[in-house]
Amino acid sequence: MAVYMEELDAFSYAQKIGEGAPVLIPAGSIEQHGPHMPLHVDTLLSRRMAGETAQRIGAIVAAPMAYGYKSQQRSGGGNHLPGTTSLDGALVTEIAKTLVLEFIRHGARAIGFVNGHFENYQFLYEGADLALRELGCAGEDVRVMLLSYWDFVDEATIGRLYPNGFTGWDLEHGGVLETSLMLHLHPEQVDMTKVVDAPPAELPNYDVLPVRPELTPDSGCLSSAAEATAEKGRILLETASAGMSEAITSEFGLISR
């Protein structure tokens, strides 16, 4: 079944929306992801996570927000790194708001952001909030969810995939999580021979701007991808998409269609 909106013709899309299909909006980034992975990892993974979820619940996946908010040093290495191409927060918010309003205009009543770039979250949230506020006077009955796919990897899976200990999602930039998923979904875009097997980055408990570049490892990755495997990627995809499917069904089942 086709789930990606942009590959549908207008009439098929309209029919699905008319049947009550939720719309999932992938939110990624164009951001360096080390020497072993391409720039669009976040966009690709959020799109595929949304796609897998949509398959399970009969949703539509919107064309992704390919560019995201600025990379921050403590979660993405910093916006100064080569190739990282970012939008201001206000722009991420406006795009998110616009897409919510557009899909509602089309007839959708249940919309979910599937975030694949940590830094996006607050700006997506604000976009969703502004869209709902703008709809206020029209008495719309609409719900918007905001999901970061890694939040649906449960403790048990973490324990299984990180047998030597887990350093937290914030350091999983270019590490085992993303690399495993890429190995599972797009192995031709990963070059494991270029992985730099270094200890996790040590970053302060605050931000400073302009960033001090020396705090980010030369590879641009905050933790090592050496332990990444396609099998781990398969498990992560399945676990996260199952969790998101359950959450979305649970929330959007409440909406009267």
Catalytic residues: 31, 33, 42, 117, 119, 173, 178
| Residue choice 3, 49, 91, 104 for contact with its own copies (CB under 8 A) | 91
| Residue choice 24, 87, 185, 237 for contact with its own copies (CB under 8 A) | 87
Distance from chain centroid for Cα 65: 10
Could you check whether the bond before residue 199 is cis, i.e. omega within 30 degrees of 0? no
CB of 154 to its own copies, least distance (A): 9
Determine how β-strand 68-69 pairs with β-strand 60-61.
unpaired
Distance CA 102, CA 115 (A): 19
Q: For residues 152 and 247, is the Cβ–Cβ distance under 8 A? A: yes
In degrees rounded to 5, what are phi and psi of residue 149? -60, -35
CB of 239 to its own copies, least distance (A): 13
Of 50-58, 94-102, 195-203, 225-233, which segment contacts its own copies by CB under 8 A? 94-102
Binding to its own copies in span 153-212, by CB under 8 A = 189, 191, 194, 204-210
Of 48-56, 75-83, 156-164, 223-231, which segment contacts its own copies by CB under 8 A? 75-83
Of 10-18, 45-53, 157-165, 228-236, which segment contacts its own copies by CB under 8 A? 10-18
| Three-class SS state of 26 | strand
